[in-house]
Structure 1
């Protein structure tokens, strides 16, 4: 993937992880499976995991998903637009434009937030000069919320249940991208992590936040105009 002024650093670190997405999707389709891992995700560098004693709300059943328009993570002050992205020539999720480091990318060919499965949102951690939209992602904690607003004003609210950092040589695409529990509506938030290796021009790890649907709301019906 070619670099651009102010953007080469952030996109290289993200690309090596999402590069595996195309391979995982191919393997899932070839075997007819869901791609879900049989064991919980564990990275070799844990961010916080799932601490004991954190009460977790029950999961909401999957709903009809909508194309995401905006994502909010109040705990770290994120309120950002979401744009659909596809795979590039290297089978990596094509991230948001270099000129828009405050924008989050959604893998538009995959699951919509709120549907059964894992919807994938990716964002840059920084540029060569300043923090980007997911700079604080590693600081979120289980029990905190992520709100995704979709077309038509639908709202899907997710509760974070796991935060992991995966080292480059221990990244398991099947576990990261596959749903943790079959039939559950889930969300993945992914950005770069670890340290920046100037030799390889890539980050040494990826932060992966997992969340599951706990509330869903349709827009309130509009009131008829008074005659």
Structure 2
């Protein structure tokens, strides 16, 4: 029986590792510009592509809060950007990348529903468009966030998960590291990743040259 349990445990670990590897591959493809706007605004810059991070001084940030249980996100609020957006569940597209909301829902944020729930332990992933063919979208100014600023996620259990931004990165799609961008930064914490296109729009490739990745962690809850 002991050997059977060990084999079962080993098999479960392999399956979990394979599932995570598949997701990271899809996120790498996403980072390579798979979700770029078909036409976009030529020359739009959403961040300094060479400034690969604005990490905060940990001593000036609040302590992490105890992670919550699972509950679906319903709305995301980013006070400094004036963002109050509904959240919809999204899966993976045909390439295995996280599928953002359709372009006709440019004010909506997509949550990767097969992953971590915002507020639960692990890194929850949320994606949104930076623009459409004619106007800015929900995450247009995402790259302007600074460490120490607040992101709130209203959950289906009636609780509000309050996150504090601790890192903002504009990562070039060449050499994109999905594990670094989207994997948990500290084991046991409840973390959040807000992701959109960044850099400049490349007309030849019809994609953006980078991705904006905002990292935050749970520091409080409310009702």
Answer whether TM exceeds 0.5 for this pair.
Answer: yes
Residue number in structure 2 paired with 1:29 = 17
Residue number in structure 2 paired with 1:168 = 173
Correspondence for 1:155 among 160, 169, 184: 160
CA distance in 2, matches of 1:100, 1:32: 28
**SS of corresponding position for 1:46:** coil
Deviation at 1:49, TM superposition (A): 1.1
Question: What are the ranges of 5 or more consecutive residues in structure 1 without an aligned counterpart?
Answer: 1-25, 37-42, 220-227
Greater fraction helix = 2
Correspondence for 2:198 among 189, 193, 201: 193
Residue number in structure 1 paired with 2:11 = none
Residue number in structure 2 paired with 1:102 = 107
Pair 129,45 (structure 1): closer, same or farther in 2 beyond 3 Å? same
**SS of corresponding position for 1:45:** coil
Deviation at 1:176, TM superposition (A): 1.2
CA distance in 2, matches of 1:61, 1:118: 14
Question: Cα deviation per residue 1:168-222 (whole Å; 9 max; x = unaligned)?
Answer: 10210111111000111000000000000000000000000000000023x4xxx
Q: Is 2:134 the partner of 1:146?
A: no
Correspondence for 2:91 among 69, 77, 86: 86
Residue number in structure 2 paired with 1:67 = 72
RMSD of aligned alpha carbons: 2.5
**SS of corresponding position for 1:196:** strand
CA distance in 1, matches of 2:218, 2:136: 28
CA distance in 2, matches of 1:170, 1:162: 19
The answer as to whether partners of 1:66 and 1:154 remain within 8 angstroms in 2 is: no
The answer as to whether partners of 1:138 and 1:163 remain within 8 angstroms in 2 is: yes
Residue number in structure 1 paired with 2:220 = 215
